[in-house]
Amino acid sequence: MKTAVCIGLALALLSCSKQEAAPSREESAPASAPAPASRASSTAQTAEGQAAEPARVQVQAEAGRKLIRTVDLELAVKDTEKAAEQVQALAASLGGFVSDVSAQRSESLMQYEITLRVPADRLDEALAGLRRLAVRIDREQLSTEDVTDRFVDLSAQVRTLQATEAELRELLAESRERARKVDDVMAIYRELTSIRGQLEQIQGQINALEKLAALSTVHLRVRPDSVAAPIVRGDEWRPLETIRTSLRTLVKLIQNLADIAIVVVIVIVPVVLPIVLLIWLVKRRRKRRQPVPPAPPVETGRRDG
């Protein structure tokens, strides 16, 4: 009897332990190694499938058209230096700025290449102000690039990645609370780091597009008008500079002649002088060995008496 009672109690305890272990296995099932990856991938697919199109429509409605406008303008002006100053003042008055300035002198006159960044809604006003500075407009070209679709696509990708990042953060917090394996936690952390890197890259592209769309670019070339150029400029004739140049040329010529004399004395004379002396001695010896021809007889004439 005692043995039977003990066996019955053991069976009852075993059945109770199995019933308690079953839910614990179900709770610990998400903690297995493939769970984080499958959960993250399912989250990304669900978020991308359900939220991509509504987010695309919403972002496009909020952002409007994203246009990048670029203008190439070439102006002929009376005074290029004064015009360059006026261009910088015009850009500042419109809330823009000058991003690049390049100047070079050609035929005693300055030419400028200036890059302006002005607000997109004030581009027409900027072009009107630049035209007023010119005597003649030699070239004007406007190009517009519509980047709305690209902006919307990038914004939709950001929202999808943000949803995936939030889900991964919850999964990481849950894994830490339940003290799961280090490999499982690190797998979630690596996936979260990859998502964060993609978010930063895409956000950088969005910021660049927003800046390009918010500020239009004007590539301006300012050159002097041939009619407005003076016939004679006061700084063209510089006699003192001519004298200094002539003196430098004279000194250089004297230095070159002195260098030639030094080379002749040190290099040529020691080589040529012995040869010249040898030739002279040989010729002199030959003259001594040659017999001296007798003098012709002197005929004396007789006078006829």
More confident residue, 4 or 95: 95
Provide mean pLDDT across the span 38-50: 45
Query: Could you give the number of structural domains in the chain?
Result: 1
Q: How does DSSP classify residue 134? A: -
Q: 176-201, pLDDT tens digit by residue?
A: 777 777 777 788 888 888 888 999 99
* Contact status, residue 96 vs residue 116, Cβ threshold 8 Å: yes
CA-based torsion, 52, 56, 57, 63: positive or negative? positive
Specify if 201 maps to a domain. Answer: yes
* Contact status, residue 161 vs residue 195, Cβ threshold 8 Å: yes
The parent domain of residue 208 ranges over 32-230
Question: In the chain, helix, strand, coil percent, each to 5?
Answer: 65, 15, 15
Specify if 266 maps to a domain. Answer: no
Specify if 297 maps to a domain. Answer: no
Q: How does DSSP classify residue 30? A: G
Specify if 270 maps to a domain. Answer: no
Specify if 72 maps to a domain. Answer: yes
**Amino acid identity for residue 268 in this structure:** I
Specify if 42 maps to a domain. Answer: yes
Q: 66-114, pLDDT tens digit by residue?
A: 889 999 999 999 888 899 999 999 999 999 999 899 988 876 778 999 9
CA atoms of 46 and 241, how far apart (whole Å):
80
Specify if 243 maps to a domain. Answer: no
